[in-house]
Amino acid sequence: MRKILASALAASAALALAACGSTEDASADAEADTVEMPADEVLAPVTEEPVEAPVAEPTAEDTTAAVDANAAADEAGEAAAAAAADVAAEAAAASEETTE
C-alpha cells in the first residue's frame, strides 16, 4: 500500500514539475528567473517594529474533549484486555481438552 502511495505521489510531483516548466518555444533553453535588487535597497534599515504573536490558551471545551477522549481510550483498552483474557481462557480450555 505504501509503495503504491509513494509511486502515485512521485508521479503527481513529476507531472506538476513538468507542467510548471513549460515555454512558448520548445527549442528555447530554460532560463532561471532572477530577482536583483540594488544593495542600498536591501541594506536599508528596518523601521517597522515586529508584532507580538497572540498566545493560544486552551478553552474549557478543549480540556473537556481531551478528558472525554482519554476516558474513551481507557474504556477501549479495558475492553480489549478483557477480550484477550477471554480468548486466552478459551485457548487454555481447548488445549486441556485435546490433551486428555
For the segment 7-13, the average pLDDT, to the nearest whole number, is 83
Is the pLDDT score of 87 beyond 90? Answer: yes
Average pLDDT, the chain: 80
With a cut of 70, say whether residue 52 has pLDDT above it: yes
pLDDT at residue 53 in the model: 80
Distance CA 72, CA 80 (A): 12
Domain boundaries, the chain: 59-100
Pull the grid cell for residue 25: 518555444
The x, y and z cell numbers of residue 31, run together, are 532560463
Calculate the CA 86 to chain-centre distance. 37
With bands split at pLDDT 50, 70 and 90, how would you rate the model's confidence at 96?
confident
Cα(18)–Cα(12) distance, integer angstroms = 10
Band of pLDDT at residue 82, cut at 50, 70 and 90: very high
Confidence of residue 91 (pLDDT cuts 50, 70, 90): very high
**Torsion from C-alpha of 14, 15, 20, 24, nearest 10 degrees:** 120
Q: Which residue has the higher pLDDT, 15 or 22?
A: 15
